[in-house]
């Protein structure tokens, strides 16, 4: 039976942040949630274009994780993908809602894999097998690996890639008006 409890994330559970998303790990689980940031009011033309790119990036990443998870030669090298999620709320350290800072329906969940990690572009010079692994991703239609990270790069059998897509969506520089 599926659990239909509201999904509430807490800033205290944030493990990582990127240019337009944060990664949360639910306490006592191995589930990570990649939740995309919301562009606040008074959108400039640049911010509006970037918001469209964020939406496209989210959709593309979901597509890429589904593709990698269903490709036999890649499945062991990606976290288990649990699909899109809708977050009910995000709470700060005092229990106040900061949901307005996020797009609550722009979230996906995957297995949290712990271990040493680094950017694929740097790690493949230390571990030559990563070049062949990247090529297998590209052959499967996952061609955007510039931002990819590899967890456990020293372990060819258990190395896991995250942050990849089927194509790139370039962002224009913009100053985000919040820092949390």
**What is the arithmetic mean of pLDDT over 7-16?**
96
Instruction: Give the per-residue pLDDT at 1.
Output: 41
Say how many domains are in the chain. Answer: 1
pLDDT (tens digit per residue) in 47-81: 666 778 888 889 999 999 999 999 999 999 999 99
Question: Within a domain: residue 179?
Answer: no
Strand pairing partners for 164? Answer: none
Closest by CA position to 141, among listed 90, 69, 81, 52: 69
CA-CA-CA-CA torsion for 49, 145, 82, 77, nearest 10 degrees? 180
Do 22 and 14 touch, CB atoms closer than 8 A? yes
Residue with tokens 């609550």: 104
Examine the pLDDT at 90 and tell me if it is beyond 60. yes
The sign of the CA dihedral 10, 120, 59, 49 is: positive
pLDDT (tens digit per residue) in 148-157: 999 999 999 9
Question: Within a domain: residue 1?
Answer: no
Question: Within a domain: residue 2?
Answer: no
pLDDT (tens digit per residue) in 151-179: 999 999 999 999 999 987 554 444 544 55
Question: Within a domain: residue 106?
Answer: yes
Q: How confident is residue 43, by pLDDT bands cut at 50, 70 and 90?
A: low
Question: Within a domain: residue 61?
Answer: yes
pLDDT (tens digit per residue) in 93-126: 999 999 999 999 999 999 999 999 999 999 999 9
Question: Within a domain: residue 176?
Answer: no
Backbone angles phi, psi at 78, to 5 degrees: -135, 150
Question: Within a domain: residue 33?
Answer: yes
Angle at 83 between CA 78 and CA 88, to 5 degrees: 130
Question: Within a domain: residue 23?
Answer: yes
Could you tell me where the beta strands, DSSP code E, fall in 49-175?
A: 81-85, 89-91, 102-111, 117-119, 149-151, 160-162
Query: What's the domain range around 151?
Result: 8-162
Instruction: Give the per-residue pLDDT at 19.
Output: 78
CA distance 171 to 51: 9
């Amino acid at each position: 039976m599926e659990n239909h409890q509201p999904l509430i994330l807490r800033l205290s559970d944030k493990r990582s942040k990127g240019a337009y998303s944060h990664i949360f790990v639910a306490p006592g689980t191995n589930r990570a949630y990649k939740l995309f940031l919301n562009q606040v009011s008074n959108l400039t033309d640049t911010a509006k274009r970037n918001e469209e790119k964020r939406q496209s990036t989210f959709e593309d990443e979901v597509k890429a994780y589904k593709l990698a998870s269903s490709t036999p030669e890649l499945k062991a090298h990606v976290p288990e993908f649990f699909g899109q999620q809708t977050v009910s709320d995000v709470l700060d350290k005092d229990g106040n809602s900061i949901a307005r800072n996020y797009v609550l329906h722009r979230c996906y969940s995957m297995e949290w894999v712990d271990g040493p990690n680094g950017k694929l572009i740097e790690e493949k010079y230390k571990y030559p097998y990563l070049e062949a692994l990247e090529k297998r991703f590209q052959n499967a239609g996952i061609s955007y690996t510039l931002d990819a990270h590899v967890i456990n790069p020293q372990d060819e059998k258990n190395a896991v890639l995250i942050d990849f897509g089927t194509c790139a969506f370039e962002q224009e520089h913009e100053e985000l008006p919040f820092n949390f």
